[in-house]
Amino acid sequence: MLLSVVIPARDEQDCIESTVRELAAELAAANVPHEILVVDDASVDDTAATVNRLTSSIPSLRLLRNPGPHGFGCAVTFGIRSSRGDAAAVFMADLSDSPKDLVLYYRKLQEGYECVFGSRFIKGSHLIDYPAHKLILNRFANRFIAIIFGIRYNDVTNAFKCYRREVIEGIEPLLSKHYNLTVEMPLKAIIRGYSYTVVPISWRNRQTGVSKLRLKEMGSRYLFIVLYLWLEKHLSRGDYHRSGLQAPTREGRSQRA
């Protein structure tokens, strides 16, 4: 199973080399067939030049240039649609997520799950230097989502997730152009009946550069996509639900019939 790792990047010249090198080394050591796709999203620094230089020494690496429109969601969508793998994972350019956890995701896909979601807020997870104000907003937003969708998963807003190809095709079209894509993809997969598992992961705050997420700007976009999917769940009468599934188990994971 070929794993496509999609890394959206805008002005990440200070960290993209270390991220790609560590990721490629970990996947190779674990014998995970993979491709690494760095999607340059209109960077004005040397992000693209750095990645292009690395392609000569990392055969699995490809540089993609998002032609536009731009935004986190647009870059991820462009990368996924340009990928060749049997599964795709979204990985952050700042190395806030652990490559070892990505190997764990891959192993869970091999067990038969169609999606693998990480949680930074369950037993076994590790958080390093999470900003206090963002943590409060994160816990409120995820609790709200869990309640209105009736799910137990408590880290929907985390971008670091992995999906089989059939899931990605089943949740199209993707609407979100910005960070709200991190909510749209897992919620669509859940309400449309794809199987998933949740594993504890590690997260650390970026060591270089600045976060591109602007909470005030994104609030309405997150709310829009959450409410849009809530309407799909309750009013679509199963028109978008995949066929051939039993009812979700008590853990909230759908299983094949």
> 253 Cβ partners below 8 Å, 6+ apart?
113, 195, 196, 197
Q: Which residues of the chain have pLDDT under 50?
A: 244-257
Q: For domain 3-235, say whether CATH 3.90.550.10 is its number.
A: yes
CA atoms of 79 and 94, how far apart (whole Å): 17
Q: How far apart are CA 249 and CA 154, in angstroms?
A: 17
Q: What is the pLDDT of residue 212?
A: 53
Give the model's pLDDT for residue 206: 74
Residue 139 half-sphere exposure, CB side, CA atoms within 13 Å? 8
What is the C-alpha separation between 51 and 61, in angstroms, rounded?
8
Tokens of 81: 């649609």
Q: Which pLDDT belongs to residue 197? A: 98
**Cα gap 257→248, rounded to integer Å:** 11
Locate the domains of the chain by residue range: 3-235
Handedness of CA 168, 170, 175, 181 (dihedral sign): negative
CB 200 within 8 A of CB 252: no
Enter the pTM of the model. Answer: 0.90
